[in-house]
Structure 1
Amino acid sequence: MAAALGKDSKCSIARSVEVLGDSWTLLIIREAMVTDTTRFQDFRDRLGVAGNILAKRLAFLVDEGVFERRTYQKAGTRTREEYLLTEAGRSLSVVIAALAEWGRARRPREDGTSPNFFDRKTDTRAQLAFVASDGSRIPPEQLIARRTRDS
């Protein structure tokens, strides 16, 4: 599944899209993050994705370090696998939040739903923002992007 994208596969965006560029992949991560889904059948039921596609995506995400596969067994049943977000997977909360925010603003629906993120300790809603080194917020329309070396 991972293939070098474009002329500049050194670009961090190209490297990220190699892992995350498939729509099922982002929806699987969303379900794990927002609904605490960990089991194959639950992903399948929630997403309506074909089993072969789901199995391929989950295996790829395990190989890429986004999920960790663990064996579990309910009493009287055979062993099964569950998929838990790793630290790398949980760090995608910023990506999921940005997509949700963009969708709310640019693709609104009367009956739409989207994830919001909250501080676990205080239950305060978190907001995405670009923040300068002095702590001030920078509005998106004021930003410019430059290609620099990864640090």
Structure 2
Amino acid sequence: MPTADLPVPRPAALAFSADNCTIGRAMGVLGERWTFVVLREVFNGIRRFEDMRVRTGINRQVLTSRLALLVEQGVLHKVAYQEPGSRPRHEYRLTDKGFDLYGVLVAVADWGDRYLADPEGPPITFVHRDCDAQVHARLACEAGHPVDDVRDVVPAPGPGVHLREA
């Protein structure tokens, strides 16, 4: 029997509103192209505007906008400094909220290393400070079971789910 004749089950998620989706909200903060480039720099210890601008090639207006959003959202905070004979400036440092993005950065790097790295390999690896072994993002459930096949993960309504209005 041709598959076109079989009824197609509708995804259960269609019954729920996406208006309060935390993925959508996170992408409102993190989804612009340069955001993770800026975060990469800060995670690598590059904290000053001009150093970031020169190293990344991001134009001033875009970098200013990205940094302002990350500060406004509490991902970074500004720390004043002043070089002798210069006007006061700011460094950008990670907040706890910013440090919580490290796993996301590692996951993005893992994906990029797998699909986009040059033939000789990735330009940077993440290693555990205590033993020097490489660090990778891995899925695990709250009970501590590793999830090796992403097809074993299914979405389920959370406590903040709202039904969609018809």
Answer yes or no: same fold by TM over 0.5. Answer: yes
Answering whether residue 69 of structure 2 is matched by residue 60 of structure 1, we say yes
SS in 1 for 2:77: strand
Aligned counterpart in structure 1 of residue 23 of structure 2, from 13, 33, 49: 13
1:23-62 maps to which residues of 2 (within 5 A)?
Answer: 23-33=33-43, 35-62=44-71
Given that residues 110 and 136 in structure 2 are in contact (C-alpha distance below 8 angstroms), is that contact kept between their aligned partners in structure 1? no
Gapped regions of structure 1 (runs ≥ 5): 1-6
Aligned counterpart in structure 1 of residue 100 of structure 2, from 66, 87, 91: 91
Answering whether residue 125 of structure 2 is matched by residue 116 of structure 1, we say yes
Q: Distance in 1 between matches of 2:73 and 2:101?
A: 13
Q: TM-score scaled by structure 2?
A: 0.77
Gapped regions of structure 2 (runs ≥ 5): 1-16, 161-166
Give deviations 1:1-40, integer Å, cap 9, x for gaps.
Answer: xxxxxx723111101000000010111001111x211000
Given that residues 139 and 146 in structure 2 are in contact (C-alpha distance below 8 angstroms), is that contact kept between their aligned partners in structure 1? yes
Report % sequence identity. Answer: 31
Residue equivalent to 1:4:
none
Q: Which has the larger radius of gyration?
A: 2
Q: Distance in 2 between matches of 1:132 and 1:144?
A: 9
Give the number of the structure with larger relative contact order, counting CA–CA contacts within 8 Å between residues 6 or more apart.
Answer: 2
Q: TM-score scaled by structure 1?
A: 0.84
**For the aligned residues, what is the CA RMSD?**
2.1
